[in-house]
Amino acid sequence: MSTTPHTLTADNWPIAICMHGFSPVASDGTRMHDAASERWDGVFRQVARLGFTAIEIADSHIRPSDLTPARRAELKSIADSHGVSLTSVHVQRQSIIEPGRGEQNLAYAHQAIDAAAELGMQVFSTGLHQPFNEAQRKALWFWTVQGPVDPDDAETRALAVRRLRELGEHAASVGLPMALEMYEDTYLGTADSAVRLIEEIGLDNVGLNPDIANLIRLHRPVEDWRELHEKTLPYANYWHVKNYTRDEAGDGSWWTSVPTSLELGIIDYRAMVARAVEVGFRGPFLMEQYGGDSLGICATNRDYLRTLLPEGGVSATDGNRSAIPAASETVSA
């Protein structure tokens, strides 16, 4: 069970940390999902030491729906002992239209929604991106290699809409917003396609995770980051934020990108956060970083982000999408 302040300010706006800074598999081969409570305790201890009070549980590390009820309770108890809330579960690379696995992934997503509600999370987060191919796994940066592509096929897109609407209805029934992460070469891979998908699903609790950095890092021509945000922010209810430097040749012969901090990258988050709040964004933020000291960079990015949020506060209930429950509401199973 969780509650959120009725007024969101720079000081209390929910900002969570990702799990990229933790290895999903220990040196002895034990998956974090199966790890002893001591290892989980170490994760939340580090998170709290960095000043974070919230974390996104990535299913690459821990799959809450696959834990026993006792282990789920243990996960929440350990997090609570360090003052860390479980903001969301992020179901990644489990596309509900993945060839040969779509129905299985759909069933898993339903289970993840129930687990998220049981754990008192604020958001159910997912997308349409599929598992890495072998070339992506071998690359220094996976986004420099071509991955799977959603088919340009009306029937497959309609299937995606139906299944995502089914998940959205389930999420709504347990009091959860559902956020769909933007990602290249999926039906969430361009601003227009992503917005159209949300409109086709047609549920107030289903919105976008406008992770535009997933697109501007690509070594290919991309949409202008300003236009991407302008089109998608009105539909946002959860936001993975990270940044990259980007350079490209004027003749289109080459492109390059490297992860960097929110402040130094090509996306101007000062302008974009102000615009997001203006058009009604009231969702949690998730600090994300690839490479280097992911945890440390997420912490400095969080501190920077708080300087961009409104000091005077905004109402948590006047947003554009159903993103954060009002103080009088709760999220529970």
Q: Which residue has the higher pLDDT, 320 or 136?
A: 136
Contact present, 65 and 75 (Cβ < 8 Å): no
- Closest C-alpha to 30, from 65, 75, 62, 69: 62
Residue 330: pLDDT band by 50, 70, 90 thresholds? very low
**Whole-structure pTM value:** 0.94
Any idea what DSSP says for residue 280? T
201-235 per-position pLDDT tens digit: 999 999 999 999 999 999 999 999 999 999 999 99
Instruction: Spell out where the chain has E strands.
Output: 7-8, 15-17, 54-58, 85-90, 123-127, 178-181, 206-209, 239-241, 243-248, 255-260, 285-287, 314-315
Whole-angstrom distance, CA of residue 93 vs CA of residue 263 = 28
All domains of the chain in start order, with CATH: 7-315 (3.20.20.150)
| φ, ψ at 158 (rounded to 5°) | -60, -35
Whole-angstrom distance, CA of residue 272 vs CA of residue 309 = 11
Residue 286: pLDDT band by 50, 70, 90 thresholds? very high
Strand partners, 7: 315
Whole-angstrom distance, CA of residue 324 vs CA of residue 3 = 9
Cβ neighbours around 98 below 10 Å, total: 19
21-63 per-position pLDDT tens digit: 999 999 999 999 999 999 999 999 999 999 999 999 999 999 9
38: amino acid identity, one letter:
E
pLDDT at 329 over 60: no
pLDDT at 324 over 70: no
Strand partners, 239: 285
Q: For residue 305, what pLDDT is reported? A: 98
- Give the dihedral of Cα atoms 79, 288, 264, 220; nearest 10 deg: 180
